[in-house]
Amino acid sequence: MRRVIPFVVAAGVMILAGLARADEPVSIGEVIADPDAYHFRTIPLQGTVRKVTPLPPYSPGQGATCYGAYTFMLEDETGSIEISVLGICGKPLLRKPEVNDGEGILLAAQILSPNRMTSTTKGEVKRLRAIANSITHLSPVVAPPENSAPNQTEETAKPEGDGKPGEDSKSAGDSGY
């Protein structure tokens, strides 16, 4: 019995150390260096937002169109990675990206390794992908450029996608993803 106790204590310490590390952001350089180690895992990433790019409405192939998707580059001192934020499907909403260039954020992102992807669109190059699940703002929100969308609200789009606001408005915090 006395021989078992040190092993149980050592195992407990190792488990607790692993749990403490689970909440710490992973460096982008680590993810780039070994994407297979993070494949299909949701991990915390922290860095500065760059190159926010709203995407046009898209159809994932089941008849519903998705709106409000965007991408941005997240950079830290070890590298940068493109982050995708999925759109809201089935309801025609125009929503402004919830991040701004230069802003510090912490996010939970699902990593998809290019080495483990089994299906791509014809001609598409396999690449490391990161899909945001949640975003926490660390630095004060940087004011968007003057020529950007007028406000942080979601507006109902016309089915033709003419970009005119409708009657149905929701706050930006209710993004649904």
Q: How far apart are CA 30 and CA 39, in angstroms?
A: 12
Each residue's pLDDT tens digit, 43-97 = 999 999 999 999 999 888 777 889 999 999 999 999 999 999 999 888 787 788 9
- pLDDT-derived band at 1, boundaries 50, 70, 90: low
Q: What 3 state SS string does 147-177 have?
A: CCCCCCCEEECCCCCCCCCCCCEECCCCCCC
Instruction: Please tell me the predicted confidence (pLDDT) of residue 95.
Output: 80
Instruction: Please tell me the predicted confidence (pLDDT) of residue 7.
Output: 52
Which residues in 116-129 are b (16+ Cβ under 10 Å) and which e?
eeeeeeeeeeeebb
Each residue's pLDDT tens digit, 123-158 = 666 789 999 999 999 976 555 555 554 443 444 444
Q: Name the strand (E) or helix (H) holding 46.
A: strand 42-54
CATH 3.40.50.10470 fits 24-170, yes or no: no
For 4, residues 6+ apart whose C-beta sits below 8 A from its C-beta are none
Query: pTM for this structure?
Result: 0.65
